[in-house]
Amino acid sequence: MKLPIYLDYQATTPVDARVLEAMLPYFSEQFGNAASRSHAFGWKAEESVEHAREQIAAAIGASSKEIIFTSGSTEAINLALKGVAEMYASKGKHLVTSLAEHKAVLDTCKHLEKLGCEVTYLKPDKTARIAPEQVRAAIRPDTVLVALMWANNEVGTLNPIREIGAVCRELGTLFFTDATQAVGKVPVDVEADHVDLLCLSAHKIYGPKGVGALYVRRKNPRVRLAAQMDGGGHERGMRSGTLNVPGIVGLGKACELARTELVAESARCRELRDHLQQRIERELGFVELNGHPSERLPGNLNLSFHFVEGESLIMGISDVAVSSGSACTSASLEPSHVLRAMDVGEDLAHSSIRFGIGRFTTREEVDYAADALVKAVRRLREMSPLYELAQEGVDLKNIQWQGGH
C-alpha cells in the first residue's frame, strides 16, 4: 500500500490506464484537426470524435447527434443555462434551481439575475433532496428552465430525477440536470428520465481533465441554445473552437468503461463505503451522516464529527486525502453552502469530512483511513471540554453559559 491514500474521488479521479492508452496515438501520429475536411489526417480525427460521441451517448441513453463537446461541466452548465435563457427569453425569464447546487450553477444563476432573469431557489430537505412537488409548485407559465443536480457532489444525495423530469415534461418546461457526479455511478437514461439537457465531465469518470459534454435533446421537445462562444460554428453552431481530439477520445473511452462496468463497480464502491462507515460509527460516538441514508452515490460518505474541527481533523490525517466540502470552493472558510441549505448547524458543518471511494480504492486503504481517522478524532476530542460534558450525558443545548453576550 502506497501513502498518501487518495479518498477524494468526488473531486477528481486518476486517468484509467485503458483511457490513456486510447488517447496516446492522438498526441503523435493521429494529430489531425477534426474540422480539416480535405485530407486523411482530418478524416481520421473526425471519425474518432464521432466514435466518442457514440460512446458517450450510449452511456446516457441519448443519440450521438445530441452530444456537444465542452471543456468540462462548468462550461456545459454555462452554455445550458445562459443558452436557454437567451434563446427562450420571449417565453419568459424565470428559472428554478436549488440551494444545494454546485457553484457553477449557482454563480451562473446569479449572473442571469443581473441580466434581468428571475430565479427561484428551492430549499432541499435535511437529506439534501428536492421533492417533485416542490418543483411543481415553483413552475410558472414564464418558467423556461428547471436546473437540478442528479447527485450532490458534497453529500452524495441523489435527487428523484425521473419524477422531477416527468413534472417538467407535463408542465412544458425544459429540464437540465448536472449529472457530473452521477454518470458512471448510477443508471442514467435521458429518455426514461425525461431529461432535456445534461452535463458530464471526463475527470470524474477516470478520463482526462479539461473535457466534458453537454447533452442537448433533439426531439420531443427540440431544444435550441444561443451559443455562448462564437467562431467557426463547430458543434452544430453551439460551441465553436477546435476540438480537443485526444481529450474527446479519452472521454469516450471513459464513458464506455463506466457504462460496461457500472454494476460491478457501484457494488464494490458501496461495499467499501459501508465498511468505512460501519468501522467509524462502531469505534466513535457522536458521528452524523450528512445526506440521504439510502438514495446516495455508492462511493460518497460525508460525516460530521461532534466536538472536532474539520480542518484540524484533515491535518490530523495528513496521509489520507479527503476534503471538507467541495473541491472548487474548499479554500474558503465558510461552512459548506450545501450543509447550510440542509440546516446542518454551523458547528457540525465545520466538522464535516467527505470521503470519496472509487475504482482504485482497496479495502486495505479504507481500513488504514478508518484507523487514522479514529485515532485523530479521539486525540482532538481529548482536548475538548464539551466532549467530556457530553459523555457525562449533559445536554449541551440547555446549558446557560456565563459571559458578556
Which are the catalytic amino acids? 328
What is the 3 state secondary structure string of the chain? CCCCEECECCCCCCCCHHHHHHHHHHHCCCCCCCCCCCCHHHHHHHHHHHHHHHHHHHHHCCCHHHEEEECCHHHHHHHHHHHHHHHCCCCCCEEEEECCCCHHHHHHHHHHHHCCCEEEEECCCCCCCCCHHHHHHHCCCCEEEEECCCECCCCCEECCHHHHHHHHHHHCCEEEEECCCCCCCCCCCCCCCCCCEEEEEHHHCCCCCCCEEEEECCCCCCCCCCCCCCCCCCHHHCCCCCCCHHHHHHHHHHHHHHHHHHHHHHHHHHHHHHHHHHHHHHHCCCEEECCCCCCECCCEEEEEECCCCHHHHHHHCCCEECECCCCCCCCCCCCCHHHHHCCCCHHHHCCEEEEECCCCCCHHHHHHHHHHHHHHHHHHHHCCHHHHHHHCCCCHHHCCCCCCC
